[in-house]
Amino acid sequence: MAQTRRITFGPTVAPSTEYGEGADIVAQSQAGNYSVVRVSATAINRGSTGAYSNYQGAHTAAIDGYGQVQHTGTMPAGAASNSVRWDDVTDIAIGHDSAGNKGAVTLRQTISGWFSNVQTAGFGGFPRIPKRPSPPGTPVATLVLPTSITISFTASTDNAGSAITGYLVRYWPNPEATGAYTDVSETNTLTRTIPDLTPGTQYRIVVYAKNGSADNGGYSNVSGAIVVRTLSGAWAKWEGAWKRTAPFVKVAGIWKAVSVFIKDAGIWKRGG
């Protein structure tokens, strides 16, 4: 994860001190949608042990618009050659956009008092923070039987930074999607059979994609919905397969063909 950037300034006149700003991405928060950048202001004595000054100065290591760490005071005496005079560190939160992306920021090192110097550098390479994936395509009924419906749907087109782990199929036993619903086991396939349904019943069916992000538990927004009625009445299962049949009733000793009707929203409609 870590992206590293260093800015250094090393004047050769006394007190010979190399100033540096460091930036490293050390963590990301999916829930908070931000990266944590550890910023350091570091000074190393590049002169002799006696190289120091008695006047005041400031060393600031900043990320423009987000925060900074600063060391102020008198140049410390007694630091051995090539040893650290100070190393001050702070963690700065950098917010990402709604898609989990973040462009480059500007590092700024400012030195005053002992010397006068300002340096800037771009700092980027922020890994995308995963978000919920895009919805899968609206399901299509490919096989409708009295007690099952088989659907297919197209995959999510954007995993939003984390691989798709599965698709959840959800259905209600009514076209309005009211009341209790049932979830079909979550698998990473684009075809699913919904079993154990009631003949002649309308079902509203939707699909969700899921990835490994923390956003919305990894579940996408809902796909488009379809309403499908299972077959009814004139069907029978023969040797493991559903086959259309013709219903008859016996009237005055004579068998006569009849039609099957279903009442839908107060209106009788031909079933099957």
pLDDT band at 206 (very low <50, low <70, confident <90, very high): very high
Domain match, 164 and 218 both: yes
> Exposed/middle/buried for 118, CB within 10 Å: 0-12, 13-18, 19+?
exposed
Domain match, 20 and 113 both: yes
Domain match, 119 and 8 both: yes
Looking at the predicted structure, is the pLDDT value of residue 127 above 60? yes
Looking at the predicted structure, is the pLDDT value of residue 215 above 70? yes
Domain match, 13 and 99 both: yes
What pLDDT score was predicted for residue 146? 85
Residue 153 belongs to domain with CATH number: 2.60.40.10
From the list 231, 186, 226, the residue with the least C-alpha distance to 206 is 226
CA-CA-CA-CA torsion sign (169, 173, 175, 178): negative
Looking at the predicted structure, is the pLDDT value of residue 232 above 90? no
Domain match, 224 and 239 both: no
Read out DSSP for 217-244?
Answer: GGBPPP---EEEEPP-SSEEEETTEEEE
pLDDT band at 240 (very low <50, low <70, confident <90, very high): confident
Longest dimension (CA), the chain: 123
Domain match, 53 and 19 both: yes
What pLDDT score was predicted for residue 254? 80
Domain match, 12 and 32 both: yes
From the list 243, 250, 244, 247, the residue with the least C-alpha distance to 260 is 247
Q: What is the pTM of this model?
A: 0.71
- Structural domains of the chain, count: 3
What pLDDT score was predicted for residue 259? 62
Domain match, 51 and 94 both: yes
Looking at the predicted structure, is the pLDDT value of residue 44 above 70? yes
DSSP state of 83: S
Which amino acid does the sequence have at 181?
A: Y
Would you say how long the chain is, in residues?
272
What pLDDT score was predicted for residue 29? 95
216 three-class SS: helix
Domain match, 137 and 44 both: no
Domain end, chosen from 123, 145, 177, is at: 123
Tell me the average pLDDT of the chain.
Answer: 90
Domain match, 139 and 117 both: no
Pairing of strands 34-45, 84-95: antiparallel
Domain end, chosen from 123, 147, 173, is at: 123
Task: Show the domain range for 154.
Answer: 130-231
Domain end, chosen from 57, 91, 123, is at: 123
Domain match, 158 and 225 both: yes
Domain match, 80 and 146 both: no
What Å distances lie between residue 157 and 137, 153, 181, 190, 230, CA to CA?
9, 12, 26, 13, 30
DSSP state of 176: T
Average pLDDT in the 53-58 region? 90
What pLDDT score was predicted for residue 203? 97
Question: Residue 133 and residue 122: Cα distance in Å, rounded?
Answer: 30
Looking at the predicted structure, is the pLDDT value of residue 271 above 80? no
